[in-house]
Structure 1
Amino acid sequence: MTDTHRLARRRELGGFLRAHRELLSPADLGLPAGAGRRRTPGLRREEVAALSGVGVAWYTWLEQGRVDTSREVLEAVGRALRLDTDARDHVLRLAGYAPPEAPRDEAAAAAALLHSWPDRPAVLLDGALALTAWNEAYTRVFPDPADVPEPRRNLLLLLAADPAHQRLLPGWQSLAVDLFRHARTRARPEDPGLRALTALLTTERPDLSAWWACRSVGVFTSRTVEVPGSRAYTVSMLHPSDAPAAAILLWS
């Protein structure tokens, strides 16, 4: 890993921890509120440090992206911040403790799975939600991705900015938010794909800037989606074992 990538990871990790610290109040953890008004929202750094069993200076440096730390310390900080499983996994991944992602070309084998579902729409997505493959069943329900210029061939961008997709998916907002949270959960800070997508979304839908700036993470869960003129589908996210960096979105 280059120094640039290491610094990017540290900064993203520090920002993530800070955002979650600011979401908590002393009352959430059974701590006294203390005298006087707090200058910043959420817990103080010294409170998180005490709950995590680390020094205040060390925790401050961690939020500032100035130090690397051990898995044990990160797990202790995660418990102090009441992070759920998805958020804790994201913290560990940012710190470099998750297994490395498979090379992108391994996703080619996963694309063959799409055609095993001739009657169920399915698309193959990369880590930044770009549409890299799709089956015929998908084009019978949704606009054909082949007709979309490749730089815009991204599921999240289409949901947020394409009227045709929004007409087919009236509840697109919930689907888009959860897809973006899922992408952030699995993203690496040095991956230019998600950074470029976030910049494009911010430009094209500035009214939704709070979505794109949000640090919330979470694994995509199956849900029922109604497609007018077609039927209700159960939408599920699958991760092929031979291409864990890719994802299949299946409509069944």
Structure 2
Amino acid sequence: MAAAVDETAQTVLRRELGSFLRAHRERLTPSDVGLPSTPRRRTSGLRREEVAALSGVSVAWYTWVEQGRVDTSRQVLDAVARALRMDSTARRHALALAGFVTEPPEAGTDVSFDPAFRTMLDSWPDSPALLLDSTLDILAWNTAYTAVWPDPTALPPERRNLLMLLIGDARHQRLLPDWQPVFMDLYRHFRTRADQQPPAARSRQLTARMRTERPDLEAWWACRSVGDFTSRTIELLPQAGPPRTYSMTLLLTSEPQGGAVLVQTPT
């Protein structure tokens, strides 16, 4: 039974890698990679044979990789990533999908964190802060957070997820009217980890739930892009008092694995 589960997870990761490569191939034009443009091209972006030639592999082999039919070496994948002009984040993601990094914990694993994180959060009396796991589930928060944002204790544990709150909670959207770019940056951060996990993982369950609850955002759920969250300035509109401006930053942590601290510093 375990072998069957491993084989299924490996097949899923191969398909995810193939989709990721195809999405990058379709975004490029011949001029992007120094090739001449031809007047009649039925294929959006580069052709498979063009990527294969740039990567130094056969067309058949690259096609099989993109179709999720074979495993590939790190050397070949590095060459493909260069041919597709991937940045460092996208390249790391492709390597992770191919199994060249340590996989995150399996679904159902209890997430614990060092109590020192709670002490750290509480040391910021004026900066709302959250401790998040790799799926952006909320593990801990400080008093400054509940002074500005809705208190997570008012929600059932399964709803304490930052992505779910931003797309599905009216209170969060009223407080942060410009929530969409924040969500998309967080969602790309989430995807760098979600695609590496097996089908039963929390991340995949969460993705399915977001698709179900917000089918109007299908273009977002179909997006293949990944990236690191970039610090940004946000403006919050509390029910009482003037607008408040914060610098929002995501600090990665080693424990919990793949976790982060989201801190909002008053400006």
TM range (shorter): over 0.9
1:172 corresponds in structure 2 to 179
1:251 corresponds in structure 2 to 264
How well do the aligned residues superpose, as a CA RMSD in angstroms? Answer: 1.9
2:121 corresponds in structure 1 to 114
1:71 positional shift: 1.2
Q: Deviations over 1:87-131 (max 9, x none)?
A: 001001111112344776453446423223233111111211111
2:213 corresponds in structure 1 to 204
* Conserved? CA contact 1:106–1:243, under 8 Å: yes
Note the 1:229-244 alignment, pairs <5 A: 229=238, 231-244=244-257
Match of 2:89 among 63, 82, 86: 86
Matched AA of 1:41? S
Kindly tell me the number of residue pairs found equivalent between the two proteins.
Answer: 251
Give secondary structure in 2 for the equivalent of 1:173.
helix
Matched AA of 2:206? L
1:58 positional shift: 0.6
* Conserved? CA contact 2:104–2:197, under 8 Å: no
Q: Could you tell which deviates more after superposition, 121-130 or 51-60?
A: 121-130
2:78 corresponds in structure 1 to 75
1:178 positional shift: 0.4
Note the 1:14-29 alignment, pairs <5 A: 14-29=18-33
Q: Could you tell which deviates more after superposition, 122-131 or 162-171?
A: 122-131
The answer for unaligned runs of 5 or more in structure 2 is: none
Give secondary structure in 1 for the equivalent of 2:9.
helix
TM-score (norm 2): 0.88
1:246 positional shift: 0.9
TM-score (norm 1): 0.93
Matched AA of 1:135? N
2:7 corresponds in structure 1 to 3
1:186 positional shift: 2.7
2:146 corresponds in structure 1 to 139
Counterpart CA distance in 2 for 1:106 and 1:128 is 14
Q: Could you tell which deviates more after superposition, 113-122 or 77-86?
A: 113-122
2:66 corresponds in structure 1 to 63
Matched AA of 2:21? L
Counterpart CA distance in 2 for 1:121 and 1:186 is 25
Q: Deviations over 1:184-240 (max 9, x none)?
A: 123323162221222122222222111111001110011111112352111111112
* Conserved? CA contact 1:8–1:189, under 8 Å: no
The answer for unaligned runs of 5 or more in structure 1 is: none
Change (3 A) 1:221 1:129: same
1:221 corresponds in structure 2 to 230
Give secondary structure in 2 for the equivalent of 1:220.
coil
